[in-house]
Amino acid sequence: AGTKSGCGAVRCRFHRCTFRHLGGWGLLLGEGCHGSRISRCTFTDLGAGAVHAFGTTNEIPGTTNGDHVVEDCEIHSGGHVFA
């Protein structure tokens, strides 16, 4: 799981946030999420990775995911948990 997660979240903003010392993802954007902007955030010491956007790419209402922007972030020391 992520420190912050959402399904159906639209136009969320994460600016100058710090995600660190986590056993999974820093941020999860689930089914139905659109238009999120993640800017000037720091992601470090993560079990998985920084941002995971998932859902479908089909036309079923409420399940598609996309149009996210990740910009000017520091991302390092991820992938510490291996399956």
What pLDDT, in 10s, does the model give residues 54-78?
876 666 776 778 889 999 999 998 8
CA distance 5 to 28: 4
Predicted local distance difference test score (pLDDT) of residue 35: 92
| Size (the chain), residues | 83
Write the CA distances from 23 to 14, 34, 51, 62, 73, integer angstroms.
20, 25, 13, 28, 20
Query: Model-level pTM?
Result: 0.80
